[in-house]
Structure 1
Amino acid sequence: MSRLYMIRHGKPSSTWGDEAAADPGLDEAGRAQAEAAADALMALPEGERPTRVLSSPLRRCRETAQPFADRLGVAVEIDPRFGEIPTPAALTEAERGPWLRQVFTGRWTEAKGDLDYDAWRRGIASALADFGGWAVFSHFVAINAAVTTLMGKEEVLAFRPDHCAITVFEVGAEGLRLVELGPEAQTQVL
């Protein structure tokens, strides 16, 4: 068995509805959170510490991953499967927030859009099984996708991971197993 750590990005410089919301970087608090997450990951025992770093392609995740990658002396690898939940193409940025709020209060099978969101969430959990020994920097909904799949829950939200919360999984012959949820916080997601 090997450990896999899924880390929510740090606090972004803007949120839904802001002009820069499409791909914001981190604000000052988010940069401090990224440094603290890197410290926490480096403090893990050597056999449990991730040796590779994977990130969503979005800037806030890449910027959160970079301090840990720098400490390890490795490059941040990008995988779009761990990006944000795909928003229906027909929605404007202003419509995205209300759509997400509706999705967050329901079940995966009820999410309306351009794809099968229940299959999307199972795909995230399945893909994670290939990343034992990695730190994967991702998003609120993608982390919930993995967690709800492993917990057998149909609701979109199983918990509210704080910025830079570290959720721990194990990867073994039987696949992916949830070990520990990261810290929760009140968040502006809903």
Structure 2
Amino acid sequence: MARLYLVRHAKAAARFDEDPDPGLSEEGKEAAVELALDLEKIGPCPILTSPLERARESALPLANRWGIQPEVSAAFSEIPTPPEIAQQGIKARGPWLKEIAGQRFGTQPSLIRAWREGLIGMLKSTRSDTVIFTHFMVINAALGAATNDDRVVIMQPDYCSYFVFETTSRGLSLVSRGAEATTTVL
């Protein structure tokens, strides 16, 4: 059994429908340092991160405190944009995300269902306590897998909040929820 800490990245310098891969805002950088002070007590343990800049930058303060190098894993990237939406440009991503936020994974195209299955498979196969810096939709997918809830969005995880899961013989178990955002993301 492993304990997994899924951390939503700190506040980015731009919205997801303005920049495909922004770094952190100044506020986000400060929050990532504060988060590292809070998480420092649980490790050192492996750190995995999404390849997206905002997640990698959020992981750095903790990695530096522990003196380790985070491992980048595409499995923890944000939900993929279907090609027909991506072709319309970055501004189309926001309305698409808002539309699917009220839906269920079972009704999504195969690209989205495969993303979720791959993500959950990676989480279930993790064998040691691990901190994972990731995104809004990843946390929702993990939360759904742990609570047997097929909704795409279950809650609005706040920046730098972390959710604790354990791997079990039956899959994922939720240990504790992170903070919910005070403003609606989607």
Tell me the TM-score normalised to structure 2 length.
0.90
Q: How many residues align?
A: 182
- 1:57–1:78 Cα contact (<8 Å) kept: yes
- 2:146–2:171 Cα contact (<8 Å) kept: no
The correspondence of residues 58-69 of structure 1 with structure 2, limited to 5 A, is: 58-69=52-63
- How far is 1:174 from its partner? 4.1
Match of 2:79 in 1: 85
Quick one: distance in 2 between partners of 1:32 and 1:149? 31
Post-superposition Cα deviations, 1:154-180, rounded to whole Å, max 9, x if no partner, equal 211121110010100112444431111
Alignment of 1:128 with 2:126, yes or no, is no
**Aligned in 2, Cα 1:4/1:17: closer, same or farther, shift over 3 Å?**
closer
Q: Greater shift after overlay, 166-175 or 68-77?
A: 166-175
Match of 2:32 in 1: 34
Post-superposition Cα deviations, 1:27-74, rounded to whole Å, max 9, x if no partner, equal 011111111111111133xxxx35111000000000000111111100
Larger helix proportion, structure 1 or 2? 2
- 2:145–2:172 Cα contact (<8 Å) kept: no
Alignment of 1:13 with 2:13, yes or no, is yes
Quick one: distance in 2 between partners of 1:155 and 1:179? 19
- How far is 1:187 from its partner? 4.1
Quick one: distance in 2 between partners of 1:129 and 1:167? 15
Post-superposition Cα deviations, 1:65-86, rounded to whole Å, max 9, x if no partner, equal 0111111100011000100100
Match of 1:148 in 2: 144
Tell me the TM-score normalised to structure 1 length.
0.89
Which of these residues, 156, 160, 164, is aligned with residue 164 of structure 1? 160
Unaligned 5+ segments in structure 1 are none
3-state DSSP of counterpart to 1:135: strand
3-state DSSP of counterpart to 2:125: coil
Q: Greater shift after overlay, 128-137 or 60-69?
A: 128-137
Quick one: distance in 2 between partners of 1:173 and 1:154? 20
Alignment of 1:95 with 2:92, yes or no, is yes
Which of these residues, 105, 110, 121, is aligned with residue 107 of structure 2? 110
Match of 1:55 in 2: 49
Quick one: distance in 1 between partners of 2:164 and 2:44? 11
- 2:51–2:72 Cα contact (<8 Å) kept: yes
Quick one: distance in 1 between partners of 2:183 and 2:22? 17
Q: Which amino acid aligns with 1:105?
A: G
- 1:122–1:145 Cα contact (<8 Å) kept: no
Q: Greater shift after overlay, 179-188 or 72-81?
A: 179-188
- 2:80–2:111 Cα contact (<8 Å) kept: no
- How far is 1:89 from its partner? 1.6
Q: Which amino acid aligns with 2:100?
A: V
Match of 2:176 in 1: 180
Quick one: distance in 1 between partners of 2:118 and 2:51? 17
